[in-house]
Structure 1
Amino acid sequence: MNLFDPPKLVKGIYIRFGENPFVLLSLFSCQAIKQNWTQQEIANVLSKAKKGNYMHLIKTLQAHIHK
């Protein structure tokens, strides 16, 4: 479900289920900025994550995080 080919991943984030969606989106975007992602790449992931329910948001972010 990663939007990029080859897959692009952010390192150093742990997604906690039950956390406020705004906090999760902010954590992801801040860490992606630190790892030199472009604004367009970040916007694509955030837009996709916000298009569904909470579980969709979690799954989309997890697909873009290095475990």
Structure 2
Amino acid sequence: MGTSLTPEFWRLFAVLLVISMAVTFVLSAALDVLALRAQRRHIRRRPTATRTTEASRRPVRTLVRH
């Protein structure tokens, strides 16, 4: 009881394949944009955080032995 793959099946397969590729492309582009935004926010916040920690550090003292 073998079934043959009809031209209708191949058309539907091609349509579904193109739709799935388009959805994958759009989702990956959207996730890339979100990742870049998060990375840029992190880079922008980093210098302000280092400024506050550097200002609160004690001066480095040298060890003097007698």
* TM-score interval, smaller chain: under 0.3
Query: How high is the TM-score relative to the length of structure 2?
Result: 0.26
Query: How high is the TM-score relative to the length of structure 1?
Result: 0.26
When Rg is computed on C-alpha atoms for both structures, the one with the higher figure is 2
Q: Could you say which structure has the greater relative contact order, defined with CA pairs below 8 angstroms and 6 or more residues apart?
A: 1
In terms of fraction of residues, the more helix-rich structure is 2
